[in-house]
Structure 1
Amino acid sequence: MKTASYRWVILGTSVITVLGALGFGRFGFTMILPAMKEGLSLSQSGAGSLVTSSLAGYLVMALTIGTLISLAGHRVLITVSLLLLAASLFLIGVSRQYGSILIFCFLAGAGSGGANVGIMGLPAFWFTPRQRGMAGGVIVSGSSFGLLVTGLVIPRILAAYGPRGWRYSWMFLGCSVLLVAVLCFLLVRNRPSDLGLALNRRGAAGKQPEKRPFRRMGSVYRSGAIWHLAAIYVMFGFSYIIYASFFADYLVREIGLSVSFAGFLWSGVGVVSVVSGFLWGAVSDRLGRKYGLAMVFFLQTMCYVFFGFSHTPFLMYASALLFGITSWSIPAIMVAAVGDLVKADLVPAAFGFITFFFGIGQVIAPIAAGRIAESAGSMKWSFIAAGAAAFIGAAASLLLKRRKPAAQ
């Protein structure tokens, strides 16, 4: 089997990995959180702290991922991360104490971050620079399938098991991630040379990487272009996590819709979002990263503002549609943009670095959104704040400079 053939195995496995790491590991909160709040008698801030704990774990892993991958390799780190995630999700379901759940949420976030950032670094080894936006876009579609599964399955589990439904939901997700970990271990390879395959003549896999790339990681942290991407990524982390975490809670508790309808709409977002990463990744391959990012951020600004005023059906559906067609595009463009700036063996470190700042936005956002909601008496203004952050992201994206892809 040649490199050109096995890269599609890598791509398919990567989609399934993101399904487990983000689709189940992070977006499971969207549908489970309302029942979890009721079962544990949590305030808005208390629920936000659970989300923040998970995101803090993601943030810590993002900062260390470059060194860990250089020592263990993508395959080992991704598999171990998925195993940690699977165990943590299951233990969230069986834990009785709020403090214990906070700890397991943190560990779940670390597992999610390790698997997601690790898998997003693989296109740099398996695809050419002009294909990386497309490849990253396909990979992030795993989150879309996660939305689809959780939106359809979790409400049925909640309805079937009543007060204990949220616990069984986490157990179901934990067992599902365990299966993903096994598949990942069997199929993922770090680079074509691991299978004795010929390297791509156009530079997809490039030269055999150095054994200690972490010695050159300082160049990543000194790059002004990388810091610029990190600043933009903060805005995405802050804005999208408010929408993704409180989507169902807002529709159920403030708009007065049923859990099943919120799940149906969330699944609809998942269906539409399957093409979002691929679509906008390809747009960025053709028009450039700055214009791709700016267009997506502008559409997401409209999405969040519409949702804040979604007491009318038109705005509610328009918001869901806008989120669906743009949802996972920014991570896809970001990993391609990083691949343009650094050599392939430094992509995990660079993407992990900007993801750390993305994580800062995510950690701050749920707590800020909860406090805004409690002060204003409505989640509406939390979504308006998300829209303001997305607008800043659009403006910052237009300031990016076009650069030639780094030599691999």
Structure 2
Amino acid sequence: MVNKKSSMFSQLIAGYLLVIATSGFARLAYGVLMPSMQEDLAINYAQAGFLATIISLGFLVISTLIAVLAQKFGIKKIVLAGGFLVTVCLFLLSFAKSYYFVMLIMFLLGAGSSLAFAPLMSLMVIQFANKKGLVLGILLSGVGSGMLLSGIITTNLSDYFPSLGWRDIWTIFGTISLIVTLLSLFVLKESENKTNTKNNQNQSISKAFKNVKIIRIGIIYFLVGVGYLIPVLFQSSFMINSGFSEKIAGNVFALSGLSIIVGSPVFGMISDRIGRKNSLLITSILCMIAGILPVLNHHLIAFVAASILFPFSLGGFLVLIQSMAAERVSPSLVPAVLGYVSVFYSIGQLIGPSLAGAVIEKFGGIQSAYILASCIFLGTLIITSFVKENEKEEVLAVQTNPLSG
């Protein structure tokens, strides 16, 4: 029992750190570095938003292949491949001078992040199925930790070492990612979960992908993907445009990361008591409020409140949606289904930044993008109201009798 607990602890730590590198640094750190990159590369808001879209495109393309890759190579190998790809791309960003070269790197960065994200969740959920909420809460808090570290590292290093630029920051992130990925290589264990026959497995996966309950979760995840990147990417620029210094904007961005760290485990525990559906309704309402506050008042308090509510709720969304998807299928289908709903999430991320950038350019202010985000989370509220709490474990298990389904 002690060895099992020790193994769980060490794997969760490695997984948590890997999420920091492959999600926090690889996908979310761009938000705090975007103003500096935008100035140095001489690009406008639409182009800056498109770079985030390219990251999401890479994430989307690979998400569609997760089930096949996991079956062929094993989940751990896929996770490690993602970690090493992210590491290489972070280092490459420090040398990039062409906007188009940055686009290519961003695409590969998104691909590496996708290789690590859903498969890592699956690896842990399968091994520690009885502690699903706790496991996902700890792992997904790594997203917020990545945001927190991004803000702290960027802001404080710039203060103490003025000569450091955004390229040096990416190098630091790459170094951390390399260390974490090497740690994961030795600590993470391949899942021992065995499936039934290949034909039964493929049939069950196909049925799960067509099931309305899984699709509905995917649609909610899609809307979260569209909406959550808006405050992440444009919060620092919104604050700077409203008269705040880059240091204050960076510190508030770091606060956002801390809020996600808290939100993931908190909503995991809350949902165990009041249910996934009610918890999703709460997160949707909080996100709607967070999108409106800075629009109504450009005061620092409004930005701080939004920077707490948005990521706190995002942490809840990630845990709740992943948990709901995993609970509706048998353990053998978890990797495929988490990869499947991540495709919806990826499409949302693909659309969100470019849509927000276009709205900002069209309507002349970042506040219009925040209003858009609030409307999007109104959509998650409406769709979640149709979810039934008793859908757990109802959808599909691997079927051995072809006449039973």
Moved more, 279-288 or 375-384: 279-288
Q: Which residue of 2 aligns with 1:242?
A: 230
Give the CA deviation at 1:184. Answer: 1.0
SS at match of 1:26: helix
CA distance in 2, matches of 1:81, 1:98: 24
Q: Which residue of 2 aligns with 1:280?
A: 267
Give the aligned residue type for 1:226: I
Deviations 1:41-88 (A, max 9, x none): 001111011111011101111111111111111211111111111111
List alignment gaps of at least 5 residues for structure 1. 194-206
Say whether 1:307 aligns with 2:306. no
User: CA contact under 8 A between 1:158 and 1:169: conserved in structure 2?
Assistant: no
Give the CA deviation at 1:123. Answer: 3.4
User: CA contact under 8 A between 1:74 and 1:189: conserved in structure 2?
Assistant: no
Say whether 1:93 aligns with 2:81. no
CA distance in 1, matches of 2:284, 2:66: 27
Give the 5 Å matches for 1:244-393.
244-252=232-240, 254-393=241-380
Q: Which residue of 1 aligns with 2:170?
A: 170
Give the aligned residue type for 2:223: M
CA distance in 1, matches of 2:305, 2:249: 15
User: CA contact under 8 A between 1:121 and 1:335: conserved in structure 2?
Assistant: no
Aligned CA distance change for structure 1 residues 20 and 132 (closer, same or farther; 3 Å):
same
Give the 5 Å matches for 1:141-152.
141-152=141-152
Say whether 1:111 aligns with 2:139. no
User: CA contact under 8 A between 1:237 and 1:362: conserved in structure 2?
Assistant: yes
Aligned CA distance change for structure 1 residues 34 and 310 (closer, same or farther; 3 Å):
farther
Give the aligned residue type for 2:368: W
Give the CA deviation at 1:326. Answer: 1.9
Give the aligned residue type for 2:231: Y
Q: Which residue of 2 aligns with 1:121?
A: 122
CA distance in 2, matches of 1:95, 1:65: 29
Deviations 1:127-175 (A, max 9, x none): 335x312321111111121122111111244456768611111121122
Percent of pairs with identical residues: 25
> How many residues get paired?
392
CA distance in 2, matches of 1:141, 1:392: 25
List alignment gaps of at least 5 residues for structure 2. 399-405
CA distance in 2, matches of 1:5, 1:287: 30
Q: Which residue of 2 aligns with 1:220?
A: 208
Give the CA deviation at 1:238. Answer: 0.8
SS at match of 1:25: helix
Q: Which residue of 2 aligns with 1:197?
A: none
User: CA contact under 8 A between 2:126 and 2:334: conserved in structure 1?
Assistant: no
CA distance in 2, matches of 1:210, 1:93: 46
TM-score for both structures, normalised by structure 1 = 0.91
Q: Which residue of 1 aligns with 2:221?
A: 233
Q: Which residue of 2 aligns with 1:79?
A: 80
User: CA contact under 8 A between 1:65 and 1:118: conserved in structure 2?
Assistant: yes
Deviations 1:100-140 (A, max 9, x none): 110110000000111111111123312335x3123211111
Say whether 1:399 aligns with 2:386. yes
Give the CA deviation at 1:259. Answer: 1.2
Give the CA deviation at 1:308. Answer: 2.8
